[in-house]
Amino acid sequence: TSGSFAATLADGSVVTWGDTEGGGDSSRVQDMLREVRQICTTDRSFAAILADGTVVTWGDPHCGGDSSRVQGQLRNVQQISG
């Protein structure tokens, strides 16, 4: 993203830093970022696919960082494009 980063660690957890409004602060979802398999980005948000096929999003809600409206449909996800 523009000004923020996300690193997936060997244990499947995620560390984020940089622009807090653009995804650099994942504290709101940090407890859910376990067994992460893939991370996709937009200009100001991130989406992570977990091992169970669910998706966790964070960052600017106007740029995809809030997936609450479609969370029930985000099951068995294989890939995300942004």
Q: What is the pLDDT of residues 31-73, one digit of tens each?
A: 999 999 999 999 999 999 999 999 999 999 999 999 999 999 9
What pLDDT score does 24 carry?
Answer: 96
What pLDDT score does 7 carry?
Answer: 97
pLDDT interval class at 2 (50, 70, 90)? confident
Contact 48, 13 (CB under 8 A): no
- Among 12, 7, 23, smallest CA distance to 52 is for 12
pTM of the model: 0.93
- Give the integer Cα–Cα distance in Å for 40 and 28: 18
CB neighbourhood size of 78 (10 A): 8
Confidence check: pLDDT of 26 > 90: yes
